[in-house]
Amino acid sequence: MSNKQTYIEAGMWPETGVKVSADVYYIYGGTPPEGKILSADKNDNPVWVDAPKPTKEELIQAAEYERQRLLKLADATMLDWRTELMLGEISDANREKLSAWLAYKNDVKSVDVTTDPEHVSWPVPPEA
């Protein structure tokens, strides 16, 4: 099966289009430059255009993803200290670190990501 047939069956073959040179294909057939997406000009020639800005909902979703990443990092960092605490074998230094990381985790949880999700200010993690 040809590439064209594959695209037709997937409903992705354009009704209109233009043949392009190998040079043009190599320019536009790869990864777009940062902040750009592939489109077509008025003559259906390929062009890079500005990528659409993410919606507020997409920005909130990305911020929530970052929150979960930071919380998992905190949990992984604290795991040994929590075990030491449960066994009654935690040093004073590690108890202080655990306390600082627990406070950091609470700070991460309390960050508002809905008001201005494009400019979320995350707390700085303590030293491990």
Instruction: Measure the CA–CA gap between 71 and 125, rounded to whole angstroms.
Output: 11
Residue 1 has pLDDT above 70, yes or no: no
For residue 125, which phi and psi values (nearest 5 degrees)? -70, 150
Instruction: Measure the CA–CA gap between 63 and 69, rounded to whole angstroms.
Output: 10
Alpha helices for 88-128 (secondary structure H): 92-110
Pairing of strands 46-50, 36-40: antiparallel
Each residue's pLDDT tens digit, 83-127: 999 999 999 999 999 999 999 999 999 999 999 999 999 999 999
* For the chain, domain boundaries: 3-50, 56-119
